[in-house]
Amino acid sequence: MKLANAGEIARRYFVMNAFDGALTVLGIILGAYIGGVRNVNVILSAVLGASLAMGLSGLWGAYMAEKAERTRKLKELEAALFTDLKQTRIYRASLATMVWLAVVDGISPVVVALASVSPFLFTRAGLCPFISAVYISIAITITVLFTLGIFLGKISRENMVLNGLRMVSAGIIIAAILLLAEAIL
């Protein structure tokens, strides 16, 4: 993995797709609530469907993109070296990297989405009122966004809190747009 520079790319994939998962769930929950949906099964089904679609899209898309890039690089290296690299460590590293990055890309939005919607499982079990699940879910999602921002701040050696707030601002923008749409409609 080190040979193929997988760590840096995996971090980017994780953050981008976790961010997508968080904003998607936030959009579903706020949109459903604003639209008058109070059926837990509808919200859970919508989030499950969206998160599985994001996960498969990430997995498939990342694998295909990484495969194309890494296959091109391997072919260029083979041409330069006048040899077949299929039985080498370089080839195995490239293959392992493709799979690893695809898994990271696919799993990150699903994990974040399911974590964000988890309070609705307690509502479904009769342990948490619906409105509490909405607020807790929003709080989890905002916490995830803030944490992703802190992580990026740490990587970039910039102000972690400011980066956290920048990520949270995307959630605020989604909420504002949905509230504005509700007022217009």
Question: Does residue 3 have a pLDDT over 80?
Answer: no
> Between 57 and 94, where is the model more confident?
57
Contacts of 76 (CB under 8 A, 6+ apart): none
What DSSP assignment string belongs to 36-58? Answer: T---HHHHHHHHHHHHHHHHHHH
CA–CA distance from 2 to each of 7, 9, 14, 90, 92 (Å)? 7, 11, 17, 11, 12
pLDDT band at 83 (very low <50, low <70, confident <90, very high): confident
CA-to-CA distance for 153 and 155, rounded, in angstroms?
Answer: 5
- For 102-128, write each residue's pLDDT tens digit: 999 999 999 999 999 999 999 999 999
Q: What is the mean pLDDT of residues 142-154?
A: 97
pLDDT at position 185:
77
Work out the mean pLDDT of the chain and round it to a whole number.
Answer: 93
- At residue 92, the pLDDT reads 87
Which DSSP letter does residue 131 get? H
What pLDDT does 8 receive?
86
Calculate mean pLDDT across residues 66-73. Answer: 92
CA distance 120 to 131: 10
pLDDT score, position 91:
87
Distance (Å, rounded) from C-alpha 45 to C-alpha 152?
Answer: 31
**Ordered alpha helix ranges (H), 82-159:** 89-117, 119-124, 130-156
Residue 128 — left, alpha, or beta (φ > 0 → left; ψ -120 to 50 → alpha)?
beta
Q: Is the pLDDT of residue 52 over 90?
A: yes
Question: Tokens 């217009």 sit at which residue?
Answer: 184
Looking at the predicted structure, is the pLDDT value of residue 133 above 80? Answer: yes
Residues 66, 85: Cα–Cα separation, whole Å: 17
DSSP-derived letter for residue 157 is: T
Paired tokens of 175: 């909420």
Lowest mean pLDDT among 15-29, 84-98, 133-147: 84-98
Q: Which of 160, 146, 132, 153 is nearest to 22 (CA)?
A: 146
Where are the chain's structural domains? 7-58+109-184
Per-residue confidence (pLDDT) for residue 98, from 0 to 100:
92
* Residue range 87-105, pLDDT digits in tens: 888 888 889 899 999 999 9
State mean pLDDT over 47-59.
96
